[in-house]
Structure 1
Amino acid sequence: MSESLKEVTIYTDGACLGNPGAGGYGVVLIYGRHRKELSGGFRLTTNNRMEILAAIAGLMALKTKCTVTLYTDSQYLVNAITKGWARQWQKNGWKRNKKEKAKNSDLWEQLLNLCAQHEVNFIWVKGHAGNPENEYCDRLAVSAALQKDLPPDAAYENCMKSEESS
């Protein structure tokens, strides 16, 4: 008989001061009475990248396969996973259609791999609507974006440079 999986709740949020601009993410993981908070920031990025990165950071913090309920206020994140958009983009070589490249493919790739390692249920919550953990993640994300000497979001900045030169 196999052991049942740990049930973990993860709340995530991303923030960007300007879009693009300095950005951050905030994560709260809850397992029973245990709580872990994560945050980080980048000097130049987008809000959508921070929303995806928050989910990645939360799932990467798990040490074993878990059943996860992940709450986010990003419809982009929830829809891309639950409606299969990200899998379709991946299947199409990271293209949304014949002409348009899918944005954030580096992060979607990581997130899809992490989702394959866990049983993840993505749930959308309305942002800035009084959900205490979502509000707390927002504060973590904004605080991270306001830090001095933030590292580069290298994938994003390299993508911007290649778009400028083409």
Structure 2
Amino acid sequence: MAETKKTVQIFTDGACSGNPGPGGWGAILRYGETTRELAGGEQHTTNNRMELTAVISALSALKEPCRVELYSDSKYFIDGVQKGWAVSWKKRGWKKGDGKPALNPDLWQQILDLMERHQVQLHWVKGHAGHPENERCDQLAVEQSKKYIG
């Protein structure tokens, strides 16, 4: 009999004060009644790097392969996976269709690896539109980014 994977909800967001500048990320993991918040930041980064780092950190926190419902307001992340951009960039040696280097190949490689480990369903949510978990992730990300300002 096939083993049933746990289903985990993940919510992520990234923030940056200036782009590039000090940044932060936040993630919420929810399994049943258990909720866990994760957050971090960097001194000099971009908003997109923080969005991707939130996803990597959340998926990496899972101790076993899971079914994941992942919610993000990052079109860069969602489209990069759903439209196959990241896979195409990798096949071309991390170059975009126009031959220019793809940005953030280090993070995209980690995401592709994690997406193979877990069964991930992506959901785009509109940012700053009252979605409770997205708002909380944004709050976590902004708090982290402020640690690196001044």
What is the TM-score of this pair, normalised by structure 2?
Answer: 0.97
Q: Partner of 2:50 in structure 1?
A: 50
Secondary structure of 1:23's aligned partner: strand
1:30 corresponds in structure 2 to 30
Superposition deviation, residue 97 in structure 1: 2.4
Q: Which runs of 5+ in 2 are unaligned?
A: none
- Which residue number in structure 1 is paired with residue 95 of structure 2? 95
C-alpha distance after superposition, 1:72-105 (max 9, x if no partner): 0001100000111000000110000253000000
Paired amino acid for 1:10: I
When the two chains are superposed, the root-mean-square deviation of aligned CA atoms in Å is: 1.3
Q: Which runs of 5+ in 1 are unaligned?
A: 150-166
- CA shift, 1:47, in A, is 0.1
What's 2:119 paired with? 119
Task: Tell me which residue corresponds to 2:63.
Answer: 63
What secondary structure is seen at the aligned counterpart in 2 of 1:143?
Answer: helix
Instruction: Decide whether aligned partners of structure 1 residues 148 and 77 sit closer, same or farther in structure 2, where only a CA change above 3 A counts.
Output: closer
Q: What residue identity is the alignment partner of 1:55?
A: V
> What residue identity is the alignment partner of 1:20?
P
Moved over 6 A (4+): none
The structure with more radius of gyration: 1
Aligned pairs, how many? 150
Task: Assess if the C-alpha contact under 8 Å between 2:24 and 2:144 holds in 1.
Answer: yes
In 2: Cα distance, 1:37 partner to 1:148 partner: 20
Shift of residue 62, structure 1, vs aligned partner: 0.1
What's the TM-score, normalizing by structure 1?
0.88
